[in-house]
Structure 1
């Protein structure tokens, strides 16, 4: 029950905007500095991963991990519409190459929430040319790095904002109180100001608002991007990653639970049926009663973000994804925001135990990528939430490997839970 298959991917994940620093052409950079911003602090230099990636990839490999999920940043690659920066593309090719030189499998995410300012100004994902613009970008990235990339994710959690807006819940994978993104109602997605009916008010944290992307648009953009990536060079496995909360029905909440799960998860998993895999990103559970999401149970342990510590969630959502999408599963995010590294080890051990149970029951799971490699910029929470296996000094950028990182590396080397 605690054995993992040969070739299993063991690693950690990051997102470009959260670790690179200086992402000045991104829509969220503008939001972080806007008057009245809901961001606790701007991303600034982040972890300076843009320059320090060789050290970070080396640390990951030295721990015994064999996979690294990271994002290529659209706002750097196409800072103005139609202009593709060869320097930025070369940078990401070097990152992929550094992974391979260190025996690390690169898992590349083409879009992890942030978009170029020009794209946002043109209507974002609801602009008339959004699908074609993203496909053009995906084709250009693939042309430059596709021959070296075995795993590609088009989007990170395309369901997350719609979940916040339409269902009135903030999924754990969305971080502490949303992304500071417009919610489509004139407000900002997140817990503050968002009720059980998903209605919100006030000004957007990015200084404006536009409708949240719907599943039809995101599915169309995904499909067209998959086609572009599959056109080569290379022959990567391609999918997208979804925020999958372990949704559970409380007494009287069965109808609302079913509707929530359908709109927030199952409809999106349907899109994955034509893909090579689906990325599962799970942190906790949410219990749904007749009036909506219920509070964390009294006395339950919680994380820095206030979420219930519930590691069993991962096994539950992996089974759901495998059953509903019918494709292999790659766990692309799972972790815990805590300053207590022993708690991180305990949470991860329990989550991996559930994952091993899935595999023992025949679920096709290809890997486990922990969130996150580094303590990083956690959206509106700034740098207060520590998810990382490696600590980063905010003044010097010095890296300190945590005991949890060494523990996970030992599990990866052994291929089994101790």
Structure 2
């Protein structure tokens, strides 16, 4: 149970800090004390600060933490999102500020909807993005339903993205802090979900969030951002897939683009498109004992033949991307999603990639993107996310990359 004596001291102190802390307005009817909001509290600095600032701003706040995958229980270490230590951190913050806090066990559905799909994608030679699947299938689906069931007016998260009123409805825009912008991971959000969601940190920079956490007295103020996928210990994807899909470890050949077999591997799961290090083949060996010293990269994976195809970096280039399972967040595009059309967009094809210009050719629920400049290392299974061509901040929507070609034929 919360320590209400300590809670009252902290809340009284907050009243003296009004000029130091921001007033968060979630664009909900007044008075705020009658507006219940559910905050998804992962235990990190972002969601913890969000919950406390909303409490300070007068909202009726409930914190919910999802137990998705407990590192401490499963692999004997601590770290990552929604693990045991993170649940503890979220609970401490909630207790300190008198926020009712619930932990929901979503581990089984997370395993079925996210982890199993992650393993299957690798078996198909694709490079999955489980964080998008988690938002789509767990957080913005099941957790949203739970928030409504608790009588909440909004579900609030600590994502760095902005929710902006537009002429055709609410829109998503990139965060003020572009270095922390997370809009790429939210392209599957539906327009109906967006009406209920709020993202107050989109107007802050990360250093501001940590500064507010410090002023609030949160011990998580210096907690590092999670870098790895929560259920992948130390970034070793192959260990997770091996446990779930042992067949991914079937050995095969490493083949150069020209057809020359230059080595063997112990399973395609060890490789991703664009990978350079860890191939274990050095330069390309040729007849006569000569060797090329140019680095080789993974160009493609063939699950059917268990082959890893390698070649020079130039072979990774593409300016043609075929995209499926499109989702549009902008009203005018959503209303005309089955109409064929062409228009200019900014596109982001990997989470760490800068946006680039291209022309999008829509054909119903699929599209082809013709890029102005050749991009490298783009692989099937990743997301293609589109932004307004004029400003580059408004998120139009996106889809899943099905295949690429080096040049438009």
* Length-normalised TM-score, structure 2: 0.28
Q: Which structure's CA Rg is the greater one?
A: 2
Query: More helix by proportion, 1 or 2?
Result: 1
Structure (1 or 2) with the greater strand fraction: 2
| Bigger relative CO (Cα 8 Å, ≥ 6 apart) | 1
